[in-house]
Amino acid sequence: MVYYTEEGLEQIKKELSLLKSEGRIKVANDLSEAREKGDLSENAEYDAAREAQGLLEAKIASLEKLTVQAKVLNKDEIDLSRVSILCKTRVKNKKTEAISIFMLVSEEEANIKQSKLSINSPMGKGLLGKKVGEIALIATPSGPIELEVLEIGLNL
């Protein structure tokens, strides 16, 4: 089971639909054009089109598997007593005093520009399960970071 936000799952479904329609049409056209160029045994364009078709079908299968395993959490199901997936967390860097807000999400939804951290990232793992007032010690290449959990909620 992989947990998603509604927007994240919707984005995956849109991508899947696009690949199944436009992606398959493009690959079919590429294969058709390559076949018209003659001998398939020495046709590099045909080989490339077949490889692209295989990659497309693998991506489609992967996204279909994700949508089957996906679960959208209702806001009522999110435990706000601890840092958990899909809740927002306000933290303070103990060294710099900088305050940030992060949301822990599945790997597929992670986007640092949107402050969405993967639960499998070092910071996500460090914050997961912490309560307000607790310190998360995060190992980074430039040394450990201490983050104090200030607030946990849905709409920070």
Domain with CATH 1.10.287.180 in the chain: 2-72
In angstroms, rounded to a whole number, what is the distance separating the alpha carbons of residues 32 and 30?
5
Q: What is the pLDDT of residue 40?
A: 65
**Fold assignment, 76-153:** Chitinase A; domain 3 (3.10.50)
Mean pLDDT of 94-114: 92
pLDDT in tens, 121-144: 999 999 999 999 999 999 988 889
Mean pLDDT of 62-72: 88
In angstroms, rounded to a whole number, what is the distance separating the alpha carbons of residues 148 and 127?
9
Task: Using pLDDT thresholds of 50, 70 and 90, give the confidence band for residue 109.
Answer: confident
In angstroms, rounded to a whole number, what is the distance separating the alpha carbons of residues 150 and 34?
60
Domain with CATH 3.10.50.30 in the chain: 76-153
CATH number of 2-72: 1.10.287.180
Phi, psi of 13 (to 5 degrees): -65, -40
Q: Take residue 53 and report the two structure tokens written for it.
A: 């078709």
What global pTM score does this model have?
A: 0.68
Cβ atoms of residues 136 and 128 within 8 Å:
no
